[in-house]
C-alpha cells in the first residue's frame, strides 16, 4: 500500500502538471502568429509529453526497487521472529557468494525444513526482481553497460565494449536501451511478493504451533 499509493499519488501530481503545461502551450500556439515560435511551442509540447512518460517510467522502476527492498526486509524479519522455536545456529549473512534471497532460502530450508525445490514456482520471480533492482540502482537503469579493458578477455577476440547480458536475459524489461518496468509487470511483482510473504507466514506459523504442542506434551 505504501509503495503503490505513493506512486499513484506521484502520477496524479505529474498528470496535473502535464495537463497544465500542455494547456498553456496550446493557448500560446493559438495566440501566436509567428511560425517559428509556433514550431518552437510544438517542440515544447512534444517535450512535455516525453518528460511525463520518462517520469512515469522512473516511478515504476523505483517502485520495483522499493518492493524488492521491502520484500527482503519482511522476509528477514520473519526469520528473526522465529528465534523462539527455531533458533539460528550460524550467520547466513556471511555467505557472500550467495545473493540475499539465496541466503534466505537456505536459512528457511535448514532452520524450518521448508522445501523450496518443491515450491520453486513461489520464488521464481524473486531473482529476476533482484537483477532488475540492481540494474536500476547500480547502473542508472541502463540496460547496456560498458566494460573496461581489464574486464574483457581479449584472447577470445572480443572487440565490443558494451555488455548486453542483461538485455539478452531480460528483453521484456528493456526499451530503448533502458530498464523499463511495465505497469502489468509491476502489478504481477506486487502480487507475487504478497503471495510469497503470506505463504511463508503460514508455513512458519504451522511450525511454531507444532513446537508449542510438542513442548507442552
DSSP string, 81-143: GGGGTS--SS-GGG-TTS-HHHHHHHHHHHHH---TTTTHHHHHHHHHHHHHHHHHHHSTTBS
Collect the ranges in the chain with pLDDT lower than 50: none
Domain ranges of the chain: 2-216
In this predicted structure, what is the pLDDT of residue 1? Answer: 84
- The DSSP code for 173 is G
In this predicted structure, what is the pLDDT of residue 150? Answer: 53
In this predicted structure, what is the pLDDT of residue 54? Answer: 94
In this predicted structure, what is the pLDDT of residue 149? Answer: 52
In this predicted structure, what is the pLDDT of residue 203? Answer: 95
For residue range 91-142, list pLDDT tens digits in order. Answer: 887 788 888 999 999 999 999 999 888 889 999 999 999 999 999 999 999 9
Supply the pTM of this predicted model.
Answer: 0.85
Amino acid at each position: 500500500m505504501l509503495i503503490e499509493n505513493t506512486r499513484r499519488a506521484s502520477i496524479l501530481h505529474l498528470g496535473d502538471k502535464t495537463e497544465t503545461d500542455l494547456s498553456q502551450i496550446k493557448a500560446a500556439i493559438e495566440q501566436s502568429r509567428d511560425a517559428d515560435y509556433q514550431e518552437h511551442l510544438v517542440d515544447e509540447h512534444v517535450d512535455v509529453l516525453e518528460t511525463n512518460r520518462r517520469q512515469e517510467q522512473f516511478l515504476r522502476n523505483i517502485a520495483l526497487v522499493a518492493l524488492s527492498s521491502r520484500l527482503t526486509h519482511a522476509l528477514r524479519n520473519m526469520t528473526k521472529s522465529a528465534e523462539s522455536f527455531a533458533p539460528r545456529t550460524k550467520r547466513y549473512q556471511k555467505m557472500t557468494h550467495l545473493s540475499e534471497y539465496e541466503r534466505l532460502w537456505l536459512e528457511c530450508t535448514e532452520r524450518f525444513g521448508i522445501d523450496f525445490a518443491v515450491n520453486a514456482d513461489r520464488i521464481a520471480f524473486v531473482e529476476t526482481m533482484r537483477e532488475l533492482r540492481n540494474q536500476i540502482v547500480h547502473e542508472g537503469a541502463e540496460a547496456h553497460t560498458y566494460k573496461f579493458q581489464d574486464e574483457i578477455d581479449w584472447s577470445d577476440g572480443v572487440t565490443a565494449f558494451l555488455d548486453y547480458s542483461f538485455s539478452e536475459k531480460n528483453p521484456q524489461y528493456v526499451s530503448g536501451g533502458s530498464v523499463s518496468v511495465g505497469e502489468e509487470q509491476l502489478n504481477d511483482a506486487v502480487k507475487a511478493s504478497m503471495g510469497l510473504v503470506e505463504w511463508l507466514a503460514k508455513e512458519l506459523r504451522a511450525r511454531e504451533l507444532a513446537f508449542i504442542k510438542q513442548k507442552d506434551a
